[in-house]
Structures are given as structure tokens and as C-alpha cells.
Copies of this chain bind each other. A is one copy, B any other.
Amino acid sequence: MKNLERIKKQILRILVKKPSTFWELINFQDAHLSLFLEALKDLLDEGKIIYDKPLFKLKKNLPDIKKFSDPGCLFCKPFDNDPFWRILLEDFKALTQDRPLPTSDYDQGFIRPEDTLKRTAFIYLRGDLEDAEVFILGDDDLISLAMALTGLPKRVVVVEIDERINTFIKETVKKIGFKNLEVYNYNVIESLPEDLKGSFDIFVTDPVETKKGLKLFVARCISSLKGPGSAGYMGFTHREASLEKWREFQSFLLDSGFVITDILRDFTTYPEEENAWEDFYRTYRIMKEFDLDLPEVDWYKSCFIRFEVVEGPHLLEITPPKDLEELYFDEEAWATPLPSYLEKES
């Protein structure tokens, strides 16, 4: 959505909580001073707020706007203060208890439930969740369900290749009672269906991190976005992506018309036990390079990155991987399991 609209949402949800000064409000929104002021003036012009110096106040009740819920510190102890988030975490854990386990065929692995909620909360903090149309490419993390639990998005669309996950999401969202979630079977090798192109405010993805796979995933996602003010969110690691790869990818983002607004280092953790991927390790390159025992601590982490369209987005030409092996493997894929069909071949 347009940046101005996002800022207005960030302002209104605070004012639903309590009248606030200019300086208080500025701490709960993301804009430059001039855009922040424009948002306030817009809200005054629209008759939604009044300025009773020094306080801005709601002019009337806005039943559509939910008051701001503070998720707490997303870097250490989130969700322990505000009941909205605390209950959401409990519900999300309960609902996803019997989730499908990762398969090596799609290089899967999910982050901790609280980390999925941390991502959701970070998107919420940015004003990118309420009334947003959300595109999710690949969802073994089940963030679509976390978003559905908030009740905030206007529309959530999941495209995912694994039918087990698609079925799980479709069944579970019925229990939640959230009506605006759609799930489609989709292989990233194919171009995005026309009716999904140019239709979303944000996307969320956890791409494979091979040079070609990375750009393929993100290019598909970029084609889903509406335009300036739309934003991409993705997980990206240092574990399997070098700084050279990071740099090349950042150039790709800037050339596509984005600015990078956030890089949260090691924001999410992949729990070993829950992923139950002990059996994958024997095919990891790292285990062949050095004589190691299986891990006794969680160690696979990824950063969370936000980038926002400033112009375009421009849809750049990319070279798709020529086969599944090139999609999942390059010289930096040191902790990626060999899919069963490749294992049989080798």
C-alpha cells in the first residue's frame, strides 16, 4: 500500500489507545518528518482526528481500527506483556502442534513458532499487516496461520508446492474462522498466475539460497507486488550465503527499485528437535568436510530482511536454474539435504 496510508495506520492505532502529542506519535511510525506531518494533516482533513493542542485525538470512534498491541522486545522476551500477543502465541503453538515435518525433497525446515510470531509482529509494527493483501511463497513456517490468527490482513494468499502443507493450512484456517486465506499449489519454476501479479502489499518468503534459486524465488514475489510502498520480507542466512552473495542480491534489490529498510541479524532459529531432520545430516556437505557429531544445540539461524518499493518494482530478467539440482545446490549450500530423487541418482 502507499507509504502515506501505512503511516496513517501506524498513527491511528496509537490514537485508538490514547490521545497523544506530535512527539509521542512520531515514535510509533516510520516516516520522515515531512511525510509524518502529511499523514497527520490528511487525517485532520478527513475528519478522523482533531488537534487539541498539544494532543491529537480521535474525532469519532473508528471501530475498524484495532488499538495498538505492543509485542514487546522481539530480540529477547517477546509477547510476555500484552495479552493479544500472549494468547496468539499459545493459540499458534496449539494449532500447529501436528504440522507436517520437513521433507528433504523441498529443502524444508521451519523456524520456532515464537519466531514465526516474531516475524508477524515485526510486519505488524511496520504497519504492513492491517488491511494488507499478503503474498506468501512457500509456507512451511505457517506464517499464514499466524497472520490469520491476528485477524488483521485483508487477504492472505499462500502459494506452496507441498500438498501436505497446503492441506494442513486449509484445514487449520477453518478452525480459526478466518475467511480471507487462499492456498494454491504452485511450483516456483513456473511463472506466477496472471491474476496474482501486481496484487499485493507485501510478500513473505524464505527462499532457497542458491544464487539462481534465490533470485528466482524473489523475482516471483516481486511480480506479486502492487507498486511503491509495497514491501518484501524474507529470511536469509549467513550460514549458507556468503557476503559476496548478499552483496549481489542487494544490488538486485536496489536495481529492482527497492530500498532495504531492515536487516535483523539471526532473528530466527530453526529448532533441531522439532524439525526432526537428523537423517538429513548425513547428506550435508558440512558433515563431509569435517568429522562432526550431530548438533546438540540449535544452530541454524536466519536474518529477517525488509525492503520497500521506492520505484517500480522493475521486473528484471533472471536466469532460472536449469534443473532441481541447480535450484537447491551451489558451492555455498553446505547444510542443504540431498532430495531423495537426487540421492537415488547419485
Q: Which A residues form the contact surface with B (CB < 8 A)?
A: 3, 21-24, 26-27, 30-35, 37, 40, 53-54, 73-77, 238-244, 246-247, 250-251, 254, 258-263, 265-266, 286, 289-293, 295-297, 299, 301, 308, 310, 332, 334-335
Contacts and interface: CB of A to CB of B under 8 A. Distances in A.
Nearest to A269: B27
Would you list the 10 A-B pairs with minimal beta carbon distance, nearest first? Answer: A247-B259, A23-B295, A73-B76, A33-B334, A75-B75, A23-B299, A263-B263, A54-B293, A32-B242, A246-B259
A302 to B, nearest CB: 13
Give the number of times this chain occurs in the complex, counting copies.
Answer: 2
A250 B259 contact: yes
B75 A242 contact: no
Contacts of A308: 243
A296 B23 contact: yes
A31 B241 CA distance: 9
A243 B289 contact: no
A38 to B, nearest CB: 10
Contact of A263 (B77, B261, B299, B301): B261
Contacts of A27: 266, 297, 299, 301
Contacts of A54: 292-293, 296
B241 A32 contact: yes
Contacts of A246: 259, 261
26 contacts: A21-B293, A21-B295, A21-B296, A21-B297, A23-B295, A23-B299, A27-B299, A30-B238, A32-B239, A32-B240, A33-B239, A34-B289, A34-B332, A37-B289, A40-B290, A54-B292, A73-B75, A73-B76, A74-B75, A75-B75, A76-B77, A243-B261, A247-B259, A250-B250, A250-B259, A261-B263
Contacts of A30: 238
Given A23-B296, A27-B301, A247-B254, 16 more contacts: A21-B297, A22-B290, A22-B292, A23-B295, A26-B239, A30-B238, A31-B238, A33-B239, A33-B335, A34-B289, A37-B289, A54-B292, A54-B296, A73-B76, A246-B261, A250-B260
